[in-house]
Chain A
Amino acid sequence: EVQLEESGGGLVQPGGSLRLSCAASGFVFYNSWMTWVRQAPGKGLQWVAHIKEDGAEKYYVDSVKGRFTISRDNAKNSLYLEMNSLRVDDTAVYYCARGLKATITTMDAWGQGTPVTVSS
């Protein structure tokens, strides 16, 4: 069974940092593009970042460029999102998701999400 489990969310002050983790199991992690998607309270879905299977390519939405870093450890079947200089509008549930093999940037498996609240 494919499983993705996020952790690391919480309450942080504006300007602070958090590191999200996503533990993957039930599939060949090193063969999959991975993605972070976020959802602000009561709002829709927003793509945050993609990372290629080997970590050699990374892509970000403009609003997080220079502040967030996506990375992965294929030996540990884990995906990460390092978030710095956090802003109030970064408040959201953050989901990690697996890219569908056929399309790489549509997501066929999702974690349950980890909430991040940026507030003073």
Chain B
Amino acid sequence: EVVMTQSPATLYVSPGERATLSCRASQSVSSELAWYQQKPGQAPRLLIYGASTRATGVPARFSGSGSGTEFTLTISSLQSEDFAVYYCQQYIDWPPRITFGQGTRLEVK
């Protein structure tokens, strides 16, 4: 099983500033990496797949980078609606056995 580790567990950032979230895989997942956003009481929302491709309707302030075992989600200028929990997910395994990171909570500084 590919273990995904996210850091930090909680990130405090002021509105308008940049947020950088990290995700590490226990083995290479190439670019088979997705990011999701989840707000309290809501279902997750796909933000990024293929490590860097924004999903439909996702604002350009969200960007993903990385390959292999190290990945980053960057939010360039935080808006109030961006404070949420973010999860990374790998999908390289076949037969498919997707795994998620434990999440990073993005909170207002």
Closest to A100 in B: B49
Q: Does B44 contact A (CB under 8 A)?
A: yes
Contact A108 B56, beta carbon cutoff 8 Å: yes
* CA distance in complex: A50, B103 (Å): 22
Contact B43 A113, beta carbon cutoff 8 Å: yes
Which B residues lie within 8 Å of A102 (CB)? Answer: 49-50
Contact A106 B43, beta carbon cutoff 8 Å: no
Which B residues lie within 8 Å of A97 (CB)? Answer: 43
Interface size on B, residues (CB 8 A): 25
Q: How many A-B residue pairs have CB under 8 A?
A: 59
Q: Does B91 contact A (CB under 8 A)?
A: yes
Q: Does B87 contact A (CB under 8 A)?
A: yes
Q: Does A120 contact B (CB under 8 A)?
A: no
Interface 1/0 per residue, B95-109 and A, CB below 8 Å: 111111111000000
Contact A105 B98, beta carbon cutoff 8 Å: yes
* CA distance in complex: A102, B46 (Å): 13
| Given contact pairs A45-B87, A102-B50, A108-B56, A59 touches B96 in the complex (Cβ within 8 A) | yes
Known: A45-B100, A112-B42. 14 other contacts (CB 8 A): A44-B101, A44-B102, A47-B100, A61-B97, A100-B46, A100-B49, A102-B50, A103-B50, A106-B46, A106-B49, A108-B55, A108-B56, A110-B44, A112-B43
Residues of B that sit less than 8 Å from A by CB: 32, 34, 36, 38, 42-46, 49-50, 55-56, 87, 89, 91, 95-103
A/B interface sample: 10 pairs, CB < 8 A: A44-B102, A46-B100, A50-B96, A59-B97, A95-B43, A102-B50, A104-B96, A106-B34, A106-B46, A110-B45
